[in-house]
Amino acid sequence: MAQDLSRRAFLTRSAAIGCSLAASPLVTPVTLAAAPGENRLIVIILRGAMDGLGAVMPYGDPAWTALRGRPALGTEDGPADLDGFYALHPALKPLLPLWSQGQLGFVHAVSTPYRDKRSHFDGQDLLEAGITDLSHGLSRDGWLNRMLRHYPGIGTETAYAVGRDTLKLLNGPAPVSRWTPESDLALSPQAIRLAELVMQDDPVFAAAMAQALQIADNDGDAVASTMAPAEMDAMMAKELNSRRGETGEARIAQFVGRQLRGPSRIAAFSINGWDTHERQGVYLTRSLRRLTDAILSLREELGGPVWQNTAVVAMTEFGRTVRINGTQGTDHGTGGAMVLAGGAIRGGRVVTEWPGLDEASLYNRRDLMPTRDLRAHAGWLINGLFGLDRGTIERDVFPGVELGGDPRLLL
Q: What are the pLDDT digits (tens) for 85-128?
A: 999 999 999 999 999 999 999 999 999 999 999 999 999 999 99
Residues 6+ apart with CB under 8 A from 340: 104, 105, 106, 107, 311, 312, 313, 314, 347, 409
For residue 192, pLDDT over 60 is answered with no
| Domain span at 15 | 7-23+186-241
What CATH number corresponds to the domain at position 69?
3.40.720
Q: 237 or 382, which is more confident?
A: 382
List Cα–Cα distances, 56 to 52, 114, 289, 318, in angstroms.
6, 22, 14, 15
| pLDDT tier at 150, thresholds 50, 70, 90 | confident
- pLDDT confidence of residue 159: 52
The amino acid that residue 161 corresponds to is: A
Same structural domain, 280 and 365: yes
Spatial separation of the C-alpha atoms in residues 38 and 311, rounded to whole Å: 12
- Window from 20-24, 157-161, 179-183, 333-337 with minimum mean pLDDT: 20-24
Per-position b or e across 18-38, b if 16+ CB within 10 A of its CB: eebbebbbbbbbbbbbbbeee
- pLDDT confidence of residue 254: 86
Same structural domain, 171 and 73: yes
Spatial separation of the C-alpha atoms in residues 393 and 147, rounded to whole Å: 8
The amino acid that residue 47 corresponds to is: R
Same structural domain, 329 and 195: no
Task: Give a yes or no: residue 303 inside a domain.
Answer: yes
Task: Give a yes or no: residue 402 inside a domain.
Answer: no
Same structural domain, 191 and 175: no
Task: Give a yes or no: residue 1 inside a domain.
Answer: no
For residue 340, pLDDT over 60 is answered with yes
Same structural domain, 237 and 284: no
Q: What are phi and psi of 83, to 5 degrees?
A: -150, 15
- Window from 51-55, 128-132, 211-215, 280-284 with minimum mean pLDDT: 211-215
For residue 226, pLDDT over 50 is answered with no
- pLDDT confidence of residue 262: 83
Considering Cα of 42, then 256, then 160, then 305, what sign does the dihedral take?
positive
Task: Give a yes or no: residue 404 inside a domain.
Answer: no
Spatial separation of the C-alpha atoms in residues 14 and 172, rounded to whole Å: 41
Number of domains in the chain: 2
Same structural domain, 326 and 177: yes
For residue 378, pLDDT over 60 is answered with yes
Residues 6+ apart with CB under 8 A from 279: 327, 328, 329
Residues 6+ apart with CB under 8 A from 390: 379, 383, 403
For residue 405, pLDDT over 50 is answered with yes
Same structural domain, 202 and 342: no
Q: Give first-to-last CA distance, the chain, whole Å.
A: 69
Same structural domain, 145 and 218: no
Task: Give a yes or no: residue 355 inside a domain.
Answer: yes
| pLDDT tier at 191, thresholds 50, 70, 90 | low
Same structural domain, 364 and 260: yes
3-state secondary structure of 265: strand
Q: What is the pLDDT of residues 300-319, one digit of tens each?
A: 999 999 999 999 999 999 99
Q: What is the pLDDT of residues 255-292, one digit of tens each?
A: 888 888 888 888 888 889 999 999 999 999 999 999 99
Same structural domain, 254 and 202: no
- pLDDT confidence of residue 33: 74
Percent of the chain scored above 70 by pLDDT? 68
Same structural domain, 36 and 149: yes
Nearest to 398 by CA among 375, 371, 369: 375
Same structural domain, 175 and 214: no
45's enclosing H/E stretch is strand 40-46
